[in-house]
Amino acid sequence: MDHMLTLIAADGGLDDDTTARLRAALADLGADTLSPQWLAQGRAVDLPFALLAPDQAEAAARQLLSARPVDVVAQSAGQRRKMLLLADMDSTVVIGETLDELADFAGLKDEIAAITARAMNGEIDFADAFRERVGRLAGLPETCLEETFRRIRLMPGGSTLVATMKAEGAFTVLVSGGFRFFTGRVRDRCGFDRDIGNDIEIIDGRLSGQIIEPILDRGGKYRSLTTIAAERHLPLSLCLAVGDGANDLEMIEAAGLGVAFHAKPAVAAQARTRIDHNDLTALLFVQGYREDEFAG
């Protein structure tokens, strides 16, 4: 079969009746299907199909399952397991936005968060918004960075995603428009091979409000993807990029598997693949990993 349709249920409520009804719906559209292949009983299943475009298969599955928290991904059945992972940090690998949490120490969290939300939805330029937000934190003690890191919580499934892909030989990179102070620590906590982020200026133990240029923005994330793929002699078809904000769109669109993860509306509308309901282990199911193959 040429293609694979993957269903991942956040409520664990998939069953044989659901897959049978879906096969019938695809057959009505002219598709051939094979028997479902369970990746995790009740939670994730692969359905091989042919003679139907992936977007048509996805649309049929989403219509059938519209009332349930099920993520649906249709793709080519070949080369599903990727050998390079580039993952955004804020609201993807960690819960929330680190810069917003840092702003809390200056009493500016709501104000900064409003700017962040607009930038992540693509309403304003990321680099300009980043400079503005950092500028408002001038004078904040450096110790607030460590205090902010103590608040950070990993997104469920992130460590498992990284450990499982690394066990299969993939190279994993955390790439963020946030501060390298955080990316380095999250890299170590989550197990990434490498991290890429922005540097901020600190003078006499306080944030100066200045960023050390150049700023890693959406173009920088795209260049990170293409450069690291070239360094490792990998085609983009063997790369997975995941993020939630507008500055992630270029790398998401360029990667063989580009995923909008619990994404902002503008990003979800443009991305080819979306995960709206599940945690980051969904990215393993999409690559065809069975639950008993998960590492970590």
Report d(CA 120, CA 47) in Å as an integer.
34
Q: How far apart are CA 272 and CA 253, in angstroms?
A: 8
Q: Please tell me which residue in 11, 16, 46, 90 is annotated as part of the active site.
A: 90
Spot the catalytic one: 46, 88, 195, 244.
Answer: 88
Residue 277 CB neighbour total at 10 angstroms = 16
Q: d(Cα 222, Cα 66) in Å, to the nearest integer?
A: 33
Report the distance separating Cα 122 and Cα 244, nearest Å.
11
Active site residue 88: yes
128 is catalytic: no
What single DSSP character describes residue 215? P
Give the orientation angle of helix 143-151 with respect to helix 180-190, to 10 degrees: 40
Distance CA 101, CA 152 (A): 9
Strand 84-87 relative to strand 239-243, pairing: parallel
C-beta of residue 17 within 8 angstroms of C-beta of residue 26: no
In degrees, to the nearest 5, what angle opens at C-alpha 55 toward C-alphas 53 and 56?
65
- Tokens found for residue 64: 């059938």
Which residues does the annotation mark as catalytic? 88, 90
